[in-house]
Amino acid sequence: MSLLEVEDLAIHFGGVKAVDGVSFAVAPGEVFSIIGPNGAGKSTIFNLISRIYAPTRGTIRFNGRDITGLQAHQVAPLGIARTFQNIELFDHSTVLDNLLMGRHVHRSTNFIQDMLFLPAVRRAERAHRHRVEEVMEFLELEAYREKMIAGLPYGVRKVVEIGRALAVGPELILLDEPASGLSVEESQDVAFWIEDMRRDMGLTVLMVEHDMRLVSQVSDRVLAVANGKPLAQGTPSQVQADPGVQAAYLGTEVAQ
Amino acid sequence: MKVIFKTSYDRDIDLHKDGWARARIVALVAVMAALPFLVGEYYLAEATNTLIWALAGMGLMLLVGHSGQVSLGHAAFLAIGAYTDTALMNAGLPFVVTFPAAALAAGLFGALVAIPAVRMSGIYLAIATLALFVIVEEMIIIAEPITGGVGGIMAPAIQIAGIDFDRYGQLDRFYWLCLAVVVAVTWAYANLLRSPTGRSFLAVRDSEVSARALGINVTRTRALAFGLSCAMTGLAGALMGHYIAFFNYELFSIFISINLLLVVTIGGLGFIQGAFFGAILITAVPQAITILRGVARDSLGVDIGGMPGLDTMLFAMILIGFIIYEPTGLYGRWLKIKAWVELFPLARRDMFRRQKSYLKTERQK
């Protein structure tokens, strides 16, 4: 059975059909990438899955459950975490606090217990902290633990975003252009991390990415979209060889 | 510069970074507790006033500094606290019941109002809270049997377990009562900030969209912040009622709301300490002006006693100065001085350049 099933998904902003009839299914433990030219609707698909937008048509099922009617904050507790293309971190907090904010779905205390800081709160804090330290070790973020996000370089912020999503402890992680703006070395790191997420953590990865090198290196299957419509689906090499995909990227004349 | 070697997560979870920091706080509270023996009646009354302002300031700090919402109507919650406490006491209930009731009434009213209000942000929320303030003011005048209307109301003397805490008879005890409340609230506030609740406030302040993606219910979190903020302000209002002893709706004017905003912005947005720094400034400036008037009259022969609006002008100038030269407020400046001393002589001019960014609340959307 598929972990995530998207069926005939569509969203129209006025006359603009940002996403129009996209269907795909992601199997557990798979790395699935969505590629396409700028404005193809890739990030919109992510925003639809994380319920920031309400679709005009279509259904999204996670673990067999229809999540199309849920609110945005009800998605993460199911086990779906995401990153953002244009980094959306909490700028005035430290890296540590950003990652701890990722533990929100696992909180076990209410605000009255928190105000009195009862022993249960301290116990929970220790447990959250332990989990967050594991994520930090995995992503080699220890050196930045106490640093404010506002003062960090772009590449590190990108990694903190991934870390915050991992801290949620998800089943499915949505990575929105994890390698955009990164150097060759940094995007190679991202490739290794994605491999490890799948192999060691048993995560399923859904990724939007422009860097074809990264996509073909880590993906099991690829979906190409253009102008909100699906073009081709299959292994990275199949999709790259697809004439429709080549036309969308390079223009019709060159492809012919 | 001191480097702390951490061997357990508890070092980060604890309120103070080391024993030295804890000792300093204990010493500060001890000095504050000993104040009635050190200063005269007049300055003790001023200190009490400062404590009450700090309490109200913390209330607004939670809202503006930590959850990123603006309120121009916080005087309304001071009023709700004061009138709830006084009216219930006049009905015969003891202070130990009426005081928490004041917080509860202000908090619940705040949270209730927040549910529609938190859907707005920035300037719209500010206007909505301003409108709320006007409504509450009118309601106080209309509800004359309870509030005394335009004429005003007398706050009865406080009695807890047979001990008098009368503001005029036993000012020292009233001061200790205020101090105890402020210490307790500060502790709870600090606890909040190191726990999941406080982090969810910061998350909502800095990025709503990713707060949602992390499973934080933004509406509920903002309403909770609003409610807690109003509850704290309600406590301050109750104490303010007793401090002034006889008050009417004019005590809670729009200027009080604006002064509270000054407390949090000049003090330093996003720091509990900022509320205290701001409260000290806001209560000290009128005193300084009084002293200045005396000096000007006696030694210079200039009478500035007949110049109304001097306080307001000075406050405005201070605020403008801070927004231009020190957006992080008094506490931010204090941190910079501290870092400069700790690093001496290695501090560089540019060290704080990156920190000169504005909180979301200060921006107009």
| pLDDT tens digits, B73-123 | 999 999 999 999 999 999 999 999 999 999 999 999 999 988 887 778 778
CA-nearest of A101, A107, A145, A100 to A124 is A107
A96: closest chain B residue by CA:
B12
Radius of gyration for the alpha carbons in chain A, expressed in angstroms and rounded: 19
CA dihedral of A164, B361, B231, B217, whole degrees rounded to 10? -40
Residues in chain A with CB shorter than 8 Å from the CB of B197 are: 110-111, 114-115
A4: phi then psi, degrees, rounded to nearest 5: -125, 125
Distance CA B140, CA B297 (A): 41
Distance CA A94, CA A152 (A): 10
Q: Is the model more confident about B4 or about A30? A: A30
For testing contact with chain B, the best of A80, A101, A130 (most B CBs within 10 A): A101
Q: Do A90 and B203 touch (CB under 8 A)?
A: yes
pLDDT band of residue B363 (cuts 50, 70, 90) is very low
B202 touches A: beta carbon within 8 Å: yes
Question: Which of A73, A77, A114 is the closest to B195 by Cβ?
Answer: A114
Q: Has residue A254 got a pLDDT over 60? A: no
> pLDDT at position B105, please?
96
Distance CA B250, CA B149 (A): 10
The pTM of the full predicted model, rounded to 2 decimals, is 0.90
Domain boundaries of chain B, sorted by first residue: 14-362
Lookup: tokens for A213: 């090198």
Mean pLDDT of B20-38: 94
Residues in chain A with CB shorter than 8 Å from the CB of B213 are: 50, 52, 72, 75-76, 81-82, 84, 88
A64: phi then psi, degrees, rounded to nearest 5: 85, -5
């609003």: which residue's tokens? Answer: B226
Q: Has residue B310 got a pLDDT over 80? A: no
Cα–Cα separations (whole angstroms), residue B310 to A136, B49, B280, B321: 55, 21, 18, 16
Residues in chain B with CB shorter than 8 Å from the CB of A81 are: 213-214
Lookup: tokens for B28: 């500060």
Q: Has residue B359 got a pLDDT over 60? A: no
Q: Has residue A81 got a pLDDT over 90? A: yes
> Three-state SS string across chain B, please?
CCCCCCCCCHHHHCCCCCHHHHHHHHHHHHHHHHHHHHCCHHHHHHHHHHHHHHHHHHHHHHHHHHHCCCCCCHHHHHHHHHHHHHHHHHCCCCHHHHHHHHHHHHHHHHHHHHHHHCCCCHHHHHHHHHHHHHHHHHHHHHCHHHHCCCCCEECCCCEECCEECCCCCCHHHHHHHHHHHHHHHHHHHHHHHCCHHHHHHHHHHHCHHHHHHCCCCHHHHHHHHHHHHHHHHHHHHHHHHHHHCEECHHHHCHHHHHHHHHHHHHHCCCCHHHHHHHHHHHHHHHHHHHHHHHHHHHHHCCCCCCCCCHHHHHHHHHHHHHHHHCCCHHHHHHHHHHHHHHHCCCCCHHHHHHHCCCCHHHCCC
pLDDT band of residue A244 (cuts 50, 70, 90) is confident
Mean pLDDT of chain A: 92
Contact assessment for residue B262 and residue B282, using Cβ atoms and an 8 Å cutoff: yes
Distance CA B266, CA B49 (A): 18
Q: Do B214 and A104 touch (CB under 8 A)?
A: yes
Q: Which of residues 246-275 of B touch A (CB under 8 A)?
A: 270
Residues in chain B with CB shorter than 8 Å from the CB of A133 are: 9
Mean pLDDT of chain B: 88
CATH 3.40.50.300 region(s) of chain A? 4-79+170-255
């001890």: which residue's tokens? Answer: B30
| Least-confidence region, from A196-200, B44-48, B346-350 | B346-350
> pLDDT at position B327, please?
80
CA-nearest of B284, B266, B365, B281 to B325 is B266
> pLDDT at position B306, please?
63
CATH 3.30.70.260 holds for A4-79+170-255 = no
Lookup: tokens for A142: 């220890």
Question: Which residues neighbour A100 within 8 Å (Cβ) at sequence distance 6 or greater?
Answer: A128, A129, A132, A167, B196, B199
Q: Is the model more confident about A24 or about B166? A: A24
Distance CA A31, CA A172 (A): 10
Q: Do B12 and A91 touch (CB under 8 A)?
A: no
| Least-confidence region, from A75-89, B9-23, B97-111 | B9-23
Q: Which of residues 324-363 of B touch A (CB under 8 A)?
A: 354-355, 357, 359
Distance CA B128, CA B143 (A): 22
Q: What are the b/e assignments for A38-71, b being 16+ CB within 10 Å? A: eebbbbbbbbbbbbebebeebebbbbeeebbebe
Q: Has residue B351 got a pLDDT over 70? A: no
- Options 1.20.950, 2.60.40, 1.10.10, 1.10.3470; which CATH number does B14-362 get? 1.10.3470
Do you find a cis peptide bond into B345, omega within 30 degrees of 0? Answer: yes
Q: Do B10 and A93 touch (CB under 8 A)?
A: no
Residues in chain B with CB shorter than 8 Å from the CB of A54 are: none
Mean pLDDT of B147-170: 86
> pLDDT at position A82, please?
95
A19: phi then psi, degrees, rounded to nearest 5: -130, 135
Mean pLDDT of A16-30: 93
Q: Do B198 and A114 touch (CB under 8 A)?
A: yes
CA-nearest of B118, B58, B133, B63 to B361 is B63
ipTM of the complex: 0.91
Question: Which of A91, A102, A115 is the closest to B214 by Cβ?
Answer: A102
Q: Do A103 and B196 touch (CB under 8 A)?
A: yes
Mean pLDDT of A127-151: 93
Q: Do A75 and B215 touch (CB under 8 A)?
A: yes
Residues in chain A with CB shorter than 8 Å from the CB of B211 are: 73, 101
Residues in chain A with CB shorter than 8 Å from the CB of B7 are: none
For testing contact with chain A, the best of B214, B216, B235, B271 (most A CBs within 10 A): B214
Residues in chain B with CB shorter than 8 Å from the CB of A122 are: 10, 13
Cα–Cα separations (whole angstroms), residue B218 to B42, B116, B211, B361: 46, 13, 7, 16
For testing contact with chain B, the best of A98, A105, A117, A158 (most B CBs within 10 A): A117
Q: Do A97 and B202 touch (CB under 8 A)?
A: yes
Residues in chain A with CB shorter than 8 Å from the CB of B357 are: 91-92, 150
> pLDDT at position B365, please?
37
For testing contact with chain B, the best of A48, A49, A73, A158 (most B CBs within 10 A): A73
> pLDDT at position B356, please?
46
Q: Is the model more confident about A160 or about B299? A: A160
A112: closest chain B residue by CA:
B192
Lookup: tokens for A47: 């925003």
Each residue of B259-309: pLDDT tens digit? 899 899 989 888 999 999 999 998 988 888 888 878 877 887 776 666 677
Question: Which of B194, B200, B213 is the closest to A82 by Cβ?
Answer: B213
Residues in chain A with CB shorter than 8 Å from the CB of B339 are: none
B216: phi then psi, degrees, rounded to nearest 5: -90, 125
Estimate to the nearest angstrom the gap between the alpha carbon of B159 and the chain centroid. Answer: 25
For testing contact with chain A, the best of B3, B14, B199 (most A CBs within 10 A): B199
DSSP string, chain A: --SEEEEEEEEEETTEEEEEEEEEEE-TT-EEEEE-STTSSHHHHHHHHTTSS--SEEEEEETTEE-TTS-GGGTGGGTEEE--SS----TTSBHHHHHHHTTGGG----HHHHHHT-HHHHHHHHHHHHHHHHHHHHHT-GGGTT-BGGGS-HHHHHHHHHHHHHHT--SEEEEESTTTT--HHHHHHHHHHHHHHHHTT--EEEEE-S-HHHHHHH-SEEEEEETTEEEEEESHHHHHH-HHHHHHHH-HHHH-
Residues in chain B with CB shorter than 8 Å from the CB of A100 are: 196, 199
Q: Do B212 and A84 touch (CB under 8 A)?
A: no
Residues in chain B with CB shorter than 8 Å from the CB of A50 are: 212-213
Beta bridge pairs of residue B192: none
